[in-house]
Structure 1
Amino acid sequence: MKKMQTPNVVKHFSMTALAAGFVFAFLPITADASEFGSEKLSDGTEHEEHVELLQELLVEEEYLEDESINGVFDETTEEAVTVFQEDASLLIDGIAGPQTLGALSVLEKDDENVLVEYLQEDLKSFGYYGGSIDGIFGPLTEDAVKGFQSDAGIHADGLAGPATYSAMMNFTAPQPETTVESEPANEAASEDATETTEEATASAETTSESTSSAPEGTTISMEATAYTAYCNGCSGITATGIDLRNDPHANVVAVDPNIIPLGSRVYVEGYGEAIAGDTGGAINGHKIDLHMATKDEALNFGRQQVNVTILN
């Protein structure tokens, strides 16, 4: 990812404090997040009102100058979004999606908008929210945010801002403890247990036969995003020399070589078998970027948590 610079973009805060669990007092937000639609704002977006609201948020946080508010998602706006994402330790793609807009807005109790819906979906996927996805930041949502913040080791204030969205990027939900049954206390129980074991063994053999086609190898839970070979400044040639423009339907993924060695065959849940043939500036740790044939496919994929099996 190249370092973007522009006289209209001003860095506002350091993530050193965010990482330590501090919360910043944001300036009053003039833009109303409830006005945003469900689309992601990026270069070429034509919804003037939504882009203006985004630009107002960026001005409030001192990433844009007032004169840059023009309702056009231009290069200056993209650079401002990118710098904010970098400072807030979010996914750096220059696209103002739900996480970036939520972090800019700082969602809190009594908010009602589509960004709260996305927040509730994220909290539900982590096991912290059990209510309905209604876009209403009520007591249940606030408790879910506080519970997540506490487990993530950040200040549990119930406000969903940059620190919270940053923590979500690499958070792994706690795994439930498994219980082990004690041995039978008498001979009759032992006989019953033997019969049960035999039945379980037969069932396991049947299951094994039916799932023999499932991928075998080390499986890792990873955060997945998507990209195309036709982004601005992209050559279409991966880090390992694969020409994606020559083969737009190739299943190639960008990885952190410290986690998945380049050249490995992997199986990505919902994507299929692929080659770990590329890297990316924002692809660090348990993150993976999936190559898509078109920009629309990449945007529609968004960001998901998937299981990735390393086949070799």
Structure 2
Amino acid sequence: MTKLNHPIRTSVVSTALVASLAFTPALGENVSAKANASSSDAGSSVEASETSLLKQGDRSEAVESVQSELASQGYYTYNLDGIYGPITKDAVEDFQSDNGLAVDGIVGPETKGALSLSGDQTEAKSETETQPETMNLNSTSSGSPSDSDVVATAESLIGESYTFGGETPSEGFDSSGFINYVFEQNGINLSREHADMWTSDGEHVDSPSVGDVVFFEATYDKEGASHSGIYIGNNQMIHAGTEETGVEVADMNIDYWQDRYLGAKSFD
């Protein structure tokens, strides 16, 4: 930002004043600091305070940390990408509304404090409850993702767009449309919806191997399996995520997926 240049004024300083300043170095330093501040951008104090705020359009590790907190408490259901977009803003506003905060979609000190407190309470509660099922990701396959034709097809589609109801690369994919397309390319026809794949197709397995499909529930307001991805090893999957991310690789170790894991199936 442009700094304002002030003209230098000369004045006569009394001997007494010089002596006074000589014996009060701390005061002199403070005066100098204030003089420098006044000669810099007039909005510097506002800028300093704004750096502690997170709002739509920001991109940082701090945003990713907020997304992680929101995800662990069920408000944020997408990728931890550090991008403060409209989905993150909506999640922040929902949290603020539920916790009696000003609903502005901006993460300031009060919202950060409430997130941290709620996160501690959620963690303490989860430690005292018995989880109905945990994700077992000890893959029984000794191969690598390149050993699977299904995975190779899925990898070739990374970066394709997300479109609700989409079933092809040209129109984009929704989550179940992506699974259907990948397996169709490998000669396997599956049910169109996640719930039907889970109940009717393939075989249930105790832990996923490369090329299997991993299923999740409660990813939105629907009973049973509501999302799935193709397991590629190392606790990762390829899935059609959101309109913001499209087809992508996702880390299944994060709390969001762990809490919603339903199981795995083989469609060989």
Same fold by TM-score greater than 0.5 = no
Higher gyration radius (CA): 2
TM-score scaled by length of structure 1: 0.24
Give the alignment's TM-score, normalised by structure 2.
0.28
Whose helix fraction is larger, Structure 1's or Structure 2's? 2
